[in-house]
Amino acid sequence: MLTDLEQRFSHPDVRFTLRDQLIIIGLSNRHGSATLTTHGATLLSYQPANGQELIWVSETAVYDGSKPVRGGVPICWPWFGPYDPSALGADPTDAAKKGHGIARYELWQVAAVRSVDNDATQVELRLEPTDAIRQAWPLPFMLKLIVTLGEQLTLELVGENRSDRDWQVSEAFHTYFKVAEADGLVIEGLEGCDYIDKGRDGQRFTQTGPLRLTLPMERVFVDHAADVVIDDSGNQRRIVMTKDNSASTVVWSPGPGGAKGFADMPDDQYACMVCVEAANALDNTYILKAGESHSMKMVLAQKS
């Protein structure tokens, strides 16, 4: 498998390796480095040149393909959170519908490796229906993830409805950021935005001033398209997330209690990670019409 990938997608900035049972794709150029796996098309690492690692992955994450890697940037599609039957209406496949959709559990195929503008390196992965996928999602589709390592890191998720009916989509780049200290972390760019607080029975509130993280936290900021800045002061940096065609932003931290519920996460790791997610969720789900496609982008950068 690795030999075939190396021959078909030979590129000086890209390497294919194996970690346990997962294929790992490594990108490296003058702008920095990044890694991802074909299992779930999950980004596992992004380190800008002369910068620090932005992405958190659990020290005890599993790489045998039995479950998604804990951390990184899992892809949630075509639903975010638990399945909502209103997406298709109740159907016989509902029992097979896992949390956060089908994409993060499946093996994606490498479709292209190429150089693009300004010495950037790009990898494209694709996911199409298999017999196993049809048990959870019965309709034809094509999903693309395009990862571009340039002066910034860009992830673009393109979903295409290849069926003859419309369906409802919610989605997210479920990004785990590595930070010096989660408790009290300041997140800017959400000021004045309405949010749904999962920790307070789904009640709605309006954010006043910058968000200061308290643990645990699970909030979905709706009708929010602006940039988000994570003030990772303990690492003397600011992480900037820019979005395109994303109308929601999710902020999640499991806190000490939640972390104990994950077998693939050390109990103390909640203290150095936070999820800030580009999404289209809850109020911002959308209808993907038959024969049409939708693109959502997230751009990550580090500033001192």
CA atoms within 13 A on the CB side of 257: 5
**DSSP H/E element including 106:** none
- In sequence order, what are the residues at sequence separation of 6 or more whose Cβ sits closer than 8 angstroms to the Cβ of residue 12? none
Residue 289's φ and ψ, nearest 5 degrees, are -75, 155
**pLDDT recorded at residue 38:** 98
**pLDDT recorded at residue 89:** 65
Q: What is the 3-state secondary structure (H, E, C) of 225-285?
A: CCCEEEEEHHHCEEEEEEEECCCEEEEEECHHHHHCCCCCCCCCHHHHEEEEEEEECHHHC
Q: Can you give the length of the chain in residues?
A: 304
- In sequence order, what are the residues at sequence separation of 6 or more whose Cβ sits closer than 8 angstroms to the Cβ of residue 263? none
- Rg, the chain, Cα only: 19
Q: What is the pTM of this model?
A: 0.96
**pLDDT recorded at residue 85:** 78
Render 145-160 in DSSP notation, one character per residue. EEEEESSSEEEEEEEE
Asked if the peptide bond before residue 68 counts as cis, ω within 30 degrees of 0, the response is no
Of 94, 107, 175, 198, give the one whose Cα is nearest residue 136. 94
**Locus of tokens 């003859």:** 164
**pLDDT recorded at residue 82:** 87
183: helix, coil or strand?
A: coil
Of 55, 93, 98, give the one whose Cα is nearest residue 76. 98
CATH 1.10.10.10 fits 2-182+226-303, yes or no: no
Render 31-71 in DSSP notation, one character per residue. TEEEEEETBTTEEEEEEETTS---B-B-TT---SSSS--SB
CA atoms within 13 A on the CB side of 180: 14
Structural contact between residues 238 and 232, judged by C-beta atoms closer than 8 angstroms: yes
Structural contact between residues 279 and 175, judged by C-beta atoms closer than 8 angstroms: no
> Mind listing the pLDDT tens digit of every residue in the chain (304 residues)?
899 999 999 999 999 999 999 999 999 999 999 999 999 999 999 999 999 999 999 999 999 999 999 999 999 999 999 887 777 766 666 767 888 999 999 999 999 999 999 899 999 999 999 998 998 898 999 999 999 999 999 999 999 999 999 999 999 999 999 999 999 999 999 999 999 999 999 999 999 999 999 999 999 999 999 999 999 999 999 999 999 999 999 999 999 999 989 999 999 999 999 999 999 999 999 999 999 999 999 999 999 8
